[in-house]
Structure 1
Amino acid sequence: MAPKRMPKVYLVRHGETEWTINGRHTGTTDLPLTANGEAIMLKLGDKAAGPGKLIDPTLIGTVMVSPRLRAKRTFELIFSHSPVKPPMTIDERVREWTYGDYEGFYKHEAVAARKAKGLPSGEGGWDIWVDGCEGGESAQEMTDRADEVVRTVRDAHRKWYEDPERKEGDKGGDVLIVSHGHFSRCFLARWLALPLPAGQLFVLDPGGVCVGQYYHDLGKTALGAMNLGLI
C-alpha cells in the first residue's frame, strides 16, 4: 500500500476591513468585512476552495475559526461556491492578539501612550513582539497560545496519519485555521520552532492563504507557501 500523503495546515487570514486598510490594531473589535473584502473572499473561494482545489473540504479533518465576525464571514464566503463544506468550529485559541489598552490604536498612538506612562519604548517606541500589550496579552502569553494551537494541529495530523484504518482516498487529515494577521504570524513562527519575534519575517495579507506542512516526516515542520489565492 502506498504511504499516506502528508497532512497540511491551511492558515487563512480574514478579508479586508476598514481597520486593515488604515492600519489600526483590531483585536476584540468586531468589524465586518468591507464590500471589497467580501468580493475578494468570494473570488478566493471560487478559485481555491472546493473538492480538488487548494483547500479541499474532503481532506479537512479539523477546523479552527476565530470567534470574530470577520473571520466567521471569511469562512462562510470561501466555501460559498463549494458543494462540500466542512462544519465551522469556533475556537477562541485562534483569536487575534488581545491588544488591551492599544485596541483601535495606530502604532504611533501606542508609542505615545507608553511614553506617557514612562514605559520602556526602545528604538521605534513599541515592539509588540517583545513588549506585548498593556492591559492585553504579553509576548509570552502569545507564544504560549500559539504553541498550544501548534500542538493541537500536530496532534490532529499525527492521529490521522498513524490511524491503522486507511481512509478511502486518504480523506481527512488536513487542518484549516481562519484567523488574523498577528496571530497568523505568531503561529507561523512557532510552527517553524522560531522565537516569536521571527513572526515579523512573515507578511500575510488580508485574504491570503499560507500552508504549513512537513519535510519527509511528521518531525520536521516546514512552510509550504505564503499568500496563495490573491493573484
Structure 2
Amino acid sequence: MPKLVLVRHGQSFWNLQNRFTGWVDVPLTEKGKEEAFKAGELLKDIRFNVAYTSALTRAQETLRIILEVIGLQIPVIKDQALNERHYGALQGLNKDRARQKYGAEIVHLWRRSYDIAPPEGESLKDTAARTIPFLERAILGDIYEGNDVLVVAHGNSLRSIIMYLEKLTPEEIIKVELDTGVPIVYEMDKEGNVLNKEIRRH
C-alpha cells in the first residue's frame, strides 16, 4: 500500500520569536535543523519515490535534511500551492504585539477560525482553495500509481490536506495542532483513501 507522509518544517527563526511568518522566507534555527534530522531518522524505513515541498526555504531545507539522512535522491517538486497561509498585514508581527494592536479576540479569530482572514491575508479556507486542487492533481496522482510520497510543508497548508484526507469538518480542523518536524504517516489505498494513520515521535 502506498504511503503519504506529511511533515511540518522544522522550527524557523520567526517561530522562535513568536512572529507571524506566512510567505516571508525565514530560515531554520539550529533546533529546526535538528528536528529535520530527527524526522529523517524516523522515516528511514520508507523508500520514497517522490517528494513535494513549498516555494519557501524553511520547508525546502527541512526536506533536504530529511532526504540526506534517509540517503535518498528522488525527484523534488516545489510549488507555492503548498506555501504557508498568507498572513497579510500580520506577517512579521510578534503575536503578542498583534494582540495589543488589534485585540486578543480578533487575533484569536484570525488564527483559529476556518473562514475569517486577517487584513490582506488568507483564511484556512482560502489556503485550502489552492492546496487541495494541487493535492488532488499532483500528490494523489502519485498515490494512485502506488508511489510512496513525502510532503514537507507548513502548519496551515498541511492542516488543509489533513482536513481533506481525514474528512474533518471546519470545526474539527481548527482544533488540530501540528508540531514542527513530526512525521504523520498515512497508509493509503490506490483510490486515495486513508487506511491507517501513525504519528511518529522520538
Interval containing the TM-score (normalised by the shorter chain): 0.7 to 0.9
Cα separation, 1, equivalents of 2:28 and 2:58: 6
Farther-moved stretch of structure 1 (148-157 vs 29-38)? 148-157
Query: Residue 76 of structure 1 is aligned with which of 39, 64, 73?
Result: 64
How far apart are 1:75 and its partner, in Å?
Answer: 1.0
* Partner residue in 1 for 2:3: 8
Q: How does 1:16-35 map to 2 (within 5 A)?
A: 16-35=11-30
Query: Residue 211 of structure 1 is aligned with which of 185, 196, 202?
Result: 185
Query: Residue 67 of structure 1 is aligned with which of 55, 60, 73?
Result: 55
Structure 2 CA distance for partners of 1:156 and 1:79, relative to 1, 3 Å? closer
Please give the secondary structure, in 1, of the residue aligned with 2:69: coil
* Partner residue in 2 for 1:167: none
Cα separation, 1, equivalents of 2:65 and 2:19: 24
Q: Contact 1:143 / 1:196 at 8 angstroms: preserved in 2?
A: no
Cα separation, 2, equivalents of 1:125 and 1:42: 34
Please give the secondary structure, in 2, of the residue aligned with 1:63: strand
* Partner residue in 1 for 2:47: 56
What fraction of aligned residue pairs are identical, expressed as a percent?
26
How far apart are 1:44 and its partner, in Å?
Answer: 2.9
Query: Residue 103 of structure 1 is aligned with which of 91, 98, 102?
Result: 91
Q: Contact 1:111 / 1:125 at 8 angstroms: preserved in 2?
A: no
**Letter matched to residue 155 of structure 1:** G
Q: What residue ranges of structure 2 are gaps of 5+ in the alignment?
A: none
* Partner residue in 2 for 1:157: 143
Indicate yes or no: 2:197 matched with 1:224. Answer: yes
Structure 2 CA distance for partners of 1:12 and 1:139, relative to 1, 3 Å? closer
Larger Rg: 1
Measured against aligned partners, the alpha-carbon deviations of 1:187-219 in whole angstroms (never above 9, x if no partner) come to 1112222234432232221111112333x7736
Query: Residue 200 of structure 1 is aligned with which of 166, 174, 181?
Result: 174
TM-score, normalization: structure 1? 0.74
Structure 2 CA distance for partners of 1:125 and 1:196, relative to 1, 3 Å? closer
How far apart are 1:179 and its partner, in Å?
Answer: 0.3
* Partner residue in 1 for 2:120: 135
**Letter matched to residue 150 of structure 2:** L
Cα separation, 2, equivalents of 1:133 and 1:223: 35
Q: Contact 1:130 / 1:197 at 8 angstroms: preserved in 2?
A: no
Q: What residue ranges of structure 1 are gaps of 5+ in the alignment?
A: 1-5, 162-172
Measured against aligned partners, the alpha-carbon deviations of 1:72-118 in whole angstroms (never above 9, x if no partner) come to 11111112233332122211111100111111234454455556xxx
How far apart are 1:34 and its partner, in Å?
Answer: 0.8
Cα separation, 2, equivalents of 1:140 and 1:82: 34
Cα separation, 1, equivalents of 2:99 and 2:114: 14
Indicate yes or no: 2:133 matched with 1:148. Answer: yes
* Partner residue in 2 for 1:165: none
TM-score, normalization: structure 2? 0.83
Structure 2 CA distance for partners of 1:22 and 1:197, relative to 1, 3 Å? farther
Q: Contact 1:49 / 1:79 at 8 angstroms: preserved in 2?
A: no
Please give the secondary structure, in 2, of the residue aligned with 1:29: coil
